[in-house]
Amino acid sequence: MDKLKKVLSGNDEDEEEGIVTQISNSTTLSWSTRIKGFIVCFVLGVSLSILGSCLLFLKDGLVIFAVLYTFGNVLSLTSTCFLMGPLNQLKKMFAKTRIIATLLVIVMFILTLVCAFALKNTALAIVCCVLQFVALTWYSLSYIPFARDAVKKCFGACLE
């Protein structure tokens, strides 16, 4: 509000700053707004995924299921942009340690929609959704130190 008052009163001292700095300063969100945005986006994403799962068994529910489930997961994934910012999120997503997990998640998003729209194969679309869930879980574990190693050891011990 202070910036608006400065501009309207003619005391615009920000002319020495670059345009990128001005845009960055005017679009920054407070921490409480970021938390609220994250929560709303995440809860909406989870709700859409659950709603899509419930609508699977309706007539022609496959396309609705695939779209709502995938869009819900995309929304949940992008909710973290509120916490760390979109550019930082992209940098972290495509970091060396999680690029494979990120690509798997994106491929599973696409395959789920292809199975629903183009192939219209219910069983394959459900398999893709399960694999989408597994890929998202693996991706999420990449943010917790040593979590993927612990899961590998756990499943390795179970298979012995």
- 85 within some domain: yes
Average pLDDT (103-125) is 92
Number of domains in the chain: 1
- pLDDT for residue 143 is more than 80: yes
| Interatomic CA distance for residues 56 and 154, integer angstroms | 33
- 90 within some domain: yes
pLDDT for position 36: 93
- Cβ-proximal residues to 131 (8 Å cutoff; 6+ apart), any chain: 108, 111
Average pLDDT, the chain: 85
- 157 within some domain: no
- pLDDT for residue 20 is more than 60: no
| Interatomic CA distance for residues 99 and 142, integer angstroms | 10
pTM: 0.76
Residue 100's domain comprises 21-130
- 140 within some domain: no
- pLDDT for residue 4 is more than 70: no
